[in-house]
Chains A and B, each alone.
Chain A
Amino acid sequence: TNQERMFLVFTEWVKLLQRVPGDDVKVTVFIRQMIDKGVLNTTDNMIQFTKAALELSVGSFKESDPTSEVFIATDAFSKLIVNLLVLQDFAGMNRSEYLRLMISVITMVFSEDQGRMGNSFNERPYFRLISSLLCEWENISGHNFVKIQDQYYRSQLNEFTPEFYNIIASFLHVYQPIAFPGFSFAWITLISHRMFLPKMLRLPEKAGWSKLVLLFTDLLKFMAQYTKKNDVPDAVSVVYKGALRVFLAVANDSPDFLVENHYELLNHLPHVYMQLRNVILSAIPKDLAIPNPYDPNLRIDGVESCQDAPNVFYDPVQDLKSLKKPVDNYLRIPSTSLLRVISTNVFKQEFQKDNGIGYDTVSVDTKLINAIVLHVGVEAALEKHKTTANAIFNTKSSYYTLLASLLNDGTAEVRFHVVQAIANQLRYPNAHTQWFNYVLKNFFLEDWDADTAEIQEIIIRTLLERIVTNKPHCWGIIVTFTDLLKSPECSILTLPFVMDIPEVEMIIKNL
């Protein structure tokens, strides 16, 4: 049968690769013969062949002695895919479509295997397939495909490379833990793979960043969904440990990725993962020297890097939805009616469960609040750049009053989430950190009539919870908290909510 012939061809390929080195001319000849004899000349044949090769590879893994080489067929298949992508002349179908088709077939076989086997599903051969595919691509693409003699094909392949990685990323998105829990640990290992993650981080023009943010949010969503306050399944704890290590590695290698994508990442990060949040927010751009935040003589206004606004990869204005016009109009020409529109439209349609510290549900649209706060900060920094610092370091400026009115008109819940969103911008010394430091200090010292105590408590709580955790701590949080501690206008120790709780009083005294 056709399928049996496909099995035979693939088996021959596997045997060949065990006898000759991967770059031997016989390997190229084999591929050429495969194409000339029409083994893959129709999409039906391609699909059938891919299915046959994968089923053979997975079958061979399952049947192999676990102490022997179990991945021979799988590795051979990866090498075949890469050779087909590189050696063929793409006329009817382009490379992207070709690769997508093959991976779609792989996805179907994977889904079927997973659906049929349930708990007995073994993720390892599928992991190995993608891992080896990434290794093979890296091998052949070294130094901009210098191993390819023909200049035209070399430039085609170079153009294709970001596509290659983004296609893999798209399929990893399909395999995310919420959809395929039986693949979770292989999945996390793949998104952090040495031949994938650093590549995606460093593609020219940040071409891999969107997909990477998508994958990291897939991970965070999974963690958020299954982290309950009283009961975290052991397996989810292990997921968290792995996620933490991956983020630490990213913070070390490519802090700019975390700096520029903090907004999207934090939108899906469960509140209880305080340390992980601090890891993301305390990323500092490479080669930026920052002053000691504990220096008693430090003045934030004197720090040079506060002249520059941080890059924001994803513009939060896209998340403002119906509030975009009211917010932007208010910033230009403040009016109380616009404020009312904004304040009344920050709520969700219905209550949602949440695993916050001290709360179980959320009725405000936290993503919307995060978007408003960051957008206002971005605009404020732009304003300062266009005009003067006085335009924004001014409690009468529309930038300040917009946020102030959210606090004034809001419930405790709204206030809490607005303050949290502001605290998320208190990072390394930059224009946003500087402005939000100003905003939060003034919020703390302002007279809110009967609500003063509540607002002050929310601010102190927000800052404190980010400092009492183990390190790292954000520079901007430390500086802001220190400013408040040093403030002559208000002694934190005399505040009722501090005096009422001995533990808190002790911490503040020590600080």
Chain B
Amino acid sequence: ELLAQDRAQNAAFQNPLFHPGLDHWLQTKRTLLQPHETMPAEMASQLESSLLNCPDSLDADTPHLHHNTLSLPHPTSIFFPNETTRLVSNDPVDQTRIHPKHNDIYSRTSLGRIMSKFDLDALFFIFYHYQGSYEQFLAARELTIRGWQFNKINRCWFYKEVEKLPPGMEQSEEISWRYFDYQKSWLARRCGAEFVYREEEFERI
């Protein structure tokens, strides 16, 4: 129907470049209008051939044409398995972690789970060195789960530390802020007293 409509409206379809494909395509239309009663041998073998060539999850994966240099493979012993680390696992999720993101679509992926075991150093490294990647996204997600917030202005991750004070004091808790200095020291540092938290400066993840 689609092509018939387009044919009527569009001179492009008079184009000889559409042949012989068009003839083959028209043949299939015949089959659609009058499907075979029982599967003819030719159809059965085409179906089987399709089964043999069935695309798998690697075929369906996201294309990555340009490979990030940091992920170049390095030589490993032939005794190490060559298999992907992204094997599907349907093991239940750790129920002790409570955060709204724990029921998102990433919580059950193997990379999502692995990142939950990484220390902060690894997460910051991935975040700053794999920009624009799925891995960076997951690192940001994991940092968010752990309470860090990303400042859009200075591109640093901040953490609010809340210390409960003993009863009887003027305030019940003391708030201090830390940030991760990715540019110089590669350490988490305390923010100075002049630090003011402005919500609009932080990315909502």
Contacts and interface: CB of A to CB of B under 8 A. Distances in A.
Interface of A: 17-23, 43-44, 46-48, 51, 71-72, 75-76, 78-79, 97, 100-101, 104-105, 107-112, 114-116, 118-124, 127-128, 131-132, 135-136, 139, 170-171, 174, 176-186, 189, 193-194, 221, 225-226, 228, 233, 235-236, 238, 353
B21 A108 contact: yes
Given A182-B49, A186-B50, A131 B60 contact: yes
B62 interface: yes
Given A111-B22, A235-B47, A47 B17 contact: yes
B48 A235 contact: yes
Interface stretch (B36-44, B85-93, B148-156, B167-175): B36-44
Contacts of A112: 20-21, 24
Given A21-B132, A193-B60, A184 B31 contact: no
B27 interface: yes
A132 B63 contact: yes
Interface stretch (B51-59, B114-122, B186-194): B51-59
Nearest to B63: A75
B98 interface: no
Given A44-B17, A51-B17, A185 B66 contact: no
Contact of B43 (A23, A76, A181, A189): A181
Nearest to B57: A189
Interface in B79-122: none
B39 A79 contact: no
B18 interface: yes
B2 interface: yes
B54 A72 contact: no
17 contacts: A71-B63, A112-B24, A115-B21, A128-B59, A131-B55, A131-B59, A132-B63, A136-B63, A174-B2, A177-B47, A178-B32, A179-B31, A179-B32, A180-B28, A181-B47, A189-B54, A233-B44
A101 B12 contact: yes
Given A44-B15, A47-B17, A235-B51, 18 more contacts: A43-B12, A44-B12, A48-B17, A75-B65, A104-B13, A107-B3, A108-B25, A111-B21, A112-B20, A119-B46, A123-B53, A124-B53, A124-B55, A176-B32, A180-B28, A186-B50, A221-B35, A236-B47
Contacts of A236: 47
B29 A179 contact: yes
B65 A76 contact: yes
A118 B46 contact: yes
Contacts of B55: 123-124, 127-128, 131, 185-186, 189
Nearest to A71: B63
A180 B37 CA distance: 16
Given A108-B18, A353-B37, A184 B50 contact: yes
A128 B60 CA distance: 7
Contact of B132 (A23, A109, A178, A186): A23
B133 to A, nearest CB: 10
Nearest to B62: A135
Contacts of B201: none
Contacts of B46: 118-119, 121, 181-182
B66 A233 contact: no
B45 A119 contact: yes
B6 interface: yes
B78 interface: no
Contacts of B72: none
A100 B9 CA distance: 13
Contacts of B10: 43, 97, 101
A238 B18 CA distance: 34
A188 B32 CA distance: 17
A97 B45 CA distance: 36
B162 interface: no
B11 interface: yes
Contact of B59 (A22, A23, A78, A127): A127
Contacts of B45: 119
Interface centre among A19, A110, A185 (most CB of B within 10 A): A185
B72 to A, nearest CB: 14
B47 A111 contact: no
Contacts of A44: 12, 15, 17
A48 B16 CA distance: 10
A20 to B, nearest CB: 6
A125 B21 CA distance: 17
Contacts of B53: 122-124, 185-186
The 6 closest A-B pairs by CB, nearest first: A108-B21, A115-B24, A75-B63, A112-B21, A182-B46, A111-B25
A327 to B, nearest CB: 30
A128 B65 CA distance: 13
Contacts of A72: 65
A235 B48 CA distance: 6
Contacts of A238: 51
A100 B10 CA distance: 11
Contact of B65 (A18, A171, A235): A18
A135 B63 contact: yes
Nearest to A126: B55
B63 A78 contact: yes
Contacts of B31: 178-179
A184 B132 contact: no
A235 B44 contact: yes
Contacts of A78: 63
Contacts of B18: 47, 104-105, 108
Contacts of B65: 17-18, 22, 72, 75-76, 79
A121 B53 CA distance: 9
A238 B53 CA distance: 13
Contacts of A132: 62-63
Contact of B49 (A47, A115, A119): A119
B129 to A, nearest CB: 14
